[in-house]
């Protein structure tokens, strides 16, 4: 099957970049769209292309903190019904739990987790991207947007206890201090916002319980669509491709990213006549064939790239899948390229 990559609402970002203005063909190219695309008609693009577009814009504009700047530009509905619904829950605790529950409707490339201890609550944000892509701009935008939403709900004087990022410390962190107004730590184990437990219980004025129930029902119905088996299969393919060659390319990790247990993922894949191991082997073989067709990759480099211990293990696996050694397949591929 053709791998379908999870998408994300992007109209707000494209609108912003067009209004700067940046050249529409350059924007389309950075978003990996045909250069003649009518950008005003684009509502969603692949998440990895959105991250690439955001990083490209930051570099093109010479604004390394662009993601953080944009956190105050976005409106509640820009990321779809989840961000809009978040403005209808009665307390910050309800809001954060709803974000954890429904965030796959924004994108399934991001995992949001909300955990509590007696005194604090922590919302963490984990992004899955193919190697070579940086999530810094998107993560800073997301956490900045969440802090801005909390201030709108609780009061402008509110500030988190702590904010952490996995990426290195930027050269200039003045904007980070201005937006978060707390201790900001870089090179941390996770991307997160730390809340005082008392803040989580504050009743948010003006929240309508009828609107909250209506939005919750709508989101639950949308979640049913997200969990359809064809979508699960497509996203399993995507996550394996994204994590191939790393220690995280395991069924438990893929299931976690889709907010389900390994047993549930196994059951869904089994209903479609396949399994995690079969899909992974299929993707490994496809990537091996692609790399073998490129002259610059030797067998040892390919083995390490795909997560094998050595060239011998890779050669054995490849021959079991194709009945050809890597050398024999490369010869055939080169002959086809010359013909």
Residues 100 and 57 in one domain: no
Mean per-residue pLDDT, 284-296 = 86
* Average pLDDT in the chain: 90
Mean per-residue pLDDT, 60-82 = 92
Among 22, 123, 13, smallest CA distance to 74 is for 13
Among 148, 194, 189, smallest CA distance to 167 is for 189
| 323 has pLDDT over 80 | yes
Model confidence, pTM: 0.74
Residues 150 and 171 in one domain: yes
pLDDT confidence of 2, banded at 50, 70, 90? Answer: very low
Which of residues 110 and 29 earns the better pLDDT score?
Answer: 29
Query: How far is Cα 223 from Cα 5, in angstroms, rounded to an integer?
Result: 17
Side-chain-side CA neighbours of residue 151 (13 Å): 16
Query: How far is Cα 17 from Cα 14, in angstroms, rounded to an integer?
Result: 5
Residues 17 and 75 in one domain: no
Residues 234 and 213 in one domain: no
Residues 35 and 139 in one domain: no
pLDDT tens digits for range 228-273: 777 788 888 888 888 888 888 999 998 888 878 999 999 989 888 8
| 131 has pLDDT over 70 | no
Mean per-residue pLDDT, 31-51 = 91
Is there a contact between 303 and 314 (Cβ–Cβ < 8 Å)? yes
Is residue 269 one of the residues assigned to a domain? no
Which range of residues forms the domain containing residue 95?
69-226
Domains held by the chain: number: 3
Residues 35 and 183 in one domain: no
pLDDT at 132: 67
Specify the length of the chain in residues: 339
Residues 90 and 208 in one domain: yes
Residues 84 and 218 in one domain: yes
| 145 has pLDDT over 50 | yes
Query: How far is Cα 174 from Cα 191, in angstroms, rounded to an integer?
Result: 19
Mean per-residue pLDDT, 159-173 = 96
Is residue 184 one of the residues assigned to a domain? yes
Among 190, 153, 189, 160, smallest CA distance to 176 is for 160
Mean per-residue pLDDT, 159-168 = 97
Q: For the chain, what percentages of helix, strand and coil (3-state, to nearest 5) are there?
A: 55, 10, 35
């Amino acid at each position: 099957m053709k791998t379908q990559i999870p998408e994300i609402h992007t109209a707000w970002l494209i609108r912003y970049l067009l209004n700067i203005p940046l050249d529409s063909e350059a924007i389309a190219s950075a978003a990996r769209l045909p250069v003649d695309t009518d950008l005003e008609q684009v509502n969603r693009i692949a998440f990895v292309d959105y991250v690439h577009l955001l990083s490209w814009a930051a570099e093109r504009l010479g604004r390394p903190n662009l993601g953080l700047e944009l956190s105050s530009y976005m409106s509640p509905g820009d990321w779809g019904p989840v961000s809009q619904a978040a403005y209808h829950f009665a307390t910050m605790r309800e809001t954060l739990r709803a974000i954890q529950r429904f965030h796959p409707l924004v994108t399934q490339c991001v995992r949001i987790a909300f955990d509590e201890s007696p005194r604090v609550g922590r919302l963490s944000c984990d992004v899955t991207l193919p190697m070579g892509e940086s999530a810094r701009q998107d993560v800073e935008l997301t956490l900045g947007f969440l802090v801005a939403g909390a201030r709108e709900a609780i009061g402008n004087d509110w500030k988190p206890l702590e904010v952490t990022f996995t990426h290195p410390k930027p050269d200039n962190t003045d904007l980070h201090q201005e937006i978060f107004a707390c201790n900001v730590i870089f090179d941390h184990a996770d991307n997160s916002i730390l809340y005082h437990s008392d803040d989580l219980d504050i009743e948010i004025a003006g929240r309508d319980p009828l609107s909250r129930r209506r939005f919750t029902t709508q989101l639950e119905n949308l979640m049913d669509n997200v969990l359809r088996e064809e979508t699960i299969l497509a996203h399993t393919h995507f996550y394996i491709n994204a994590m191939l060659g790393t220690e995280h390319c395991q069924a438990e990790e893929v299931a976690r990213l889709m907010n389900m247990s390994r047993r549930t993922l196994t059951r869904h894949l089994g209903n479609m006549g396949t399994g995690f191991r079969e899909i992974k082997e299929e993707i490994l073989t496809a990537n091996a064939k692609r790399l073998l067709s490129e002259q610059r990759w030797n067998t040892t480099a390919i083995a390490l790239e795909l997560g094998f211990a050595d060239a011998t293990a890779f050669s054995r696996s490849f021959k079991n899948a194709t009945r050809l050694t890597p050398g024999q397949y490369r010869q055939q591929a080169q002959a086809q390229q010359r013909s």
